[in-house]
Amino acid sequence: MRWLAWIFAFGSVATMADEARIREAITGINPMIAIKSVDAVAQTPFFEVILMSGERIYTDKSGLYFVAGDLYNVGIGGVQNLTEISRRVDRQAILEGLDPSKLVVFSPIIEVTHRLLVFTDIDCGYCRRLHSEIDQLLENGVEVRYAAFPRAGVGSDSYDKYVSVYCDNDQKAAMTLAKAGETPEAATCDNPVSDQYQLGQKLGVTGTPTLIFENGEMLPGYLPWRDLLERMNQLGS
């Protein structure tokens, strides 16, 4: 979905002078604030400042006024959340950089029509409900990629269960048993569970399941498989 990047390509890139002024104003408030990028938002007087923490703030070119929150465009076509469009671009880049070998992947035997990233917790009730419908998703060409998000954090019981699932010789079978309420056989290995949990936090995941579509759209919560498939067909992802 390259149109997302194009919409938020900010037609007018921040000039070096504007960027320097804005960076100076922000670091003048707190020198510890780390800035990732400063870009002009097309057809607006605003600049989007993305912090290394992933947070976004908006300012004018003077750098004297700041707004924390989402930026909306109200036009003839309706309301557009420009901040969410920007987030989707970032999520797409992150998705493209993910190593599938670090995920627990359920692939259909037919041609893949959609890929779905799911941040999941082994003990989450709605995560288990979603997994109980995984066969229907697979039959419709949906590849489900699980990433770890133990809600209680690193070192919790759910965290340990996910590590055991990931380190099992048959990850998919272990995941299915765990999602059915069985305690996976304890196992340890070099694993990405902590890194995925931190990635989820960076992306704004606060609960499970959290679904991320190929176009970068993020949807918190459970959807019945038919509704989920319809949503992916609408997005073309």
Domain boundaries, the chain: 2-95, 98-235
Q: What does the pLDDT read at residue 109?
A: 96
Question: 23-76 pLDDT, tens per residue?
Answer: 888 888 888 889 988 988 888 889 999 988 888 999 998 888 888 889 998 876
Contact yes or no for 23/38 (Cβ under 8 A): yes
Buried b (16+ CB within 10 A) or exposed e, 56-87: bbbbebebeeeeeeebebeeeeeeeebbbbbb
- Please provide the DSSP assignment of 7-59 as one string: HTS-SSPPPHHHHHHHHHHHHHH-TTPPEEEEEEPTTSS-EEEEETTS-EEEE
Residue 194 burial (10 A CB sphere; 0-12, 13-18, 19+):
middle
Q: Residue 170: is its pLDDT beyond 80?
A: yes
Q: From residue 121, give the alpha-carbon distance in Å to each of 22, 103, 179, 182.
A: 40, 13, 9, 14
Q: What is the mean pLDDT of residues 166-178?
A: 96
Confidence of residue 8 (pLDDT cuts 50, 70, 90): very low
Say how far apart CA 233 and CA 237 lie, in whole Å: 7
Q: What does the pLDDT read at residue 9?
A: 43
CATH homologous superfamily of 98-235 equals Glutaredoxin (3.40.30.10)
Phi, psi of 62 (to 5 degrees): -75, -25
Exposure of 175 in the CB half-sphere (CA atoms within 13 A): 22
* pTM, to two decimals: 0.81
- Domain 2-95 is of which CATH architecture? Roll (3.10)
Q: What does the pLDDT read at residue 14?
A: 60
Confidence of residue 7 (pLDDT cuts 50, 70, 90): very low
Say how far apart CA 130 and CA 132 lie, in whole Å: 5
> Could you tell me the two tokens for 100?
């599938």
Q: What does the pLDDT read at residue 237?
A: 58
Confidence of residue 213 (pLDDT cuts 50, 70, 90): very high
For 218, residues 6+ apart whose C-beta sits below 8 A from its C-beta are 87, 88, 91, 203, 204, 205, 210, 211, 212
For 77, residues 6+ apart whose C-beta sits below 8 A from its C-beta are none
Question: 97-138 pLDDT, tens per residue?
Answer: 899 999 999 999 999 999 999 999 999 999 999 999 999 999
Q: Residue 151: is its pLDDT beyond 90?
A: yes
